[in-house]
Amino acid sequence: MFIVPVDAPGLSGNRLEVAAQIPDRQFTVFYDDVRVPASALIGAEGQGWRQLFDGVNPERITAAALGVGIGRYAVAVAADYARTQPRRVGPADRDSPGGRPPAGQGQDPDRTGGPDDGQGGLAVRPRRARR
């Protein structure tokens, strides 16, 4: 592996547009008859892959940690959303498109069923025949 100056003759690159909103830039790099002096060698001759993976592995670990962190955040946000939403109990009926409201929140005492049926359970009202 060699250190190649960005202004070396024969070195060119095309910037790649990526969807990620990050400050890093991605390029396709082309080496067309690029010449570098022996002093530009990194590490021992023939050990370029070892040098490459010594640098790439920490980046892989960092990317994995970032992914795990984003996943944990997404689960936490979803769980918080689920905890803060009104609980729907029982089957949805015609005049309540989202289901029945939680106990004590707008339950009509003239209806049969719902979480406050007076018996501590869920009583189901018979369905009306459709016309």
Question: pLDDT tens digits for 34-56?
Answer: 999 999 988 888 888 888 888 88
Q: Do residues 9 and 34 lie in contact, with contact meaning Cβ atoms separated by under 8 Å? A: yes
C-alpha distances (whole Å) from 16 to each of 9, 10, 13, 77, 115 are 21, 19, 9, 32, 58
Question: pLDDT tens digits for 77-130?
Answer: 999 988 888 766 555 544 555 555 555 555 555 554 444 445 444 445 555 556
pTM of the model: 0.40
What residue spans define the domains of the chain? 11-84
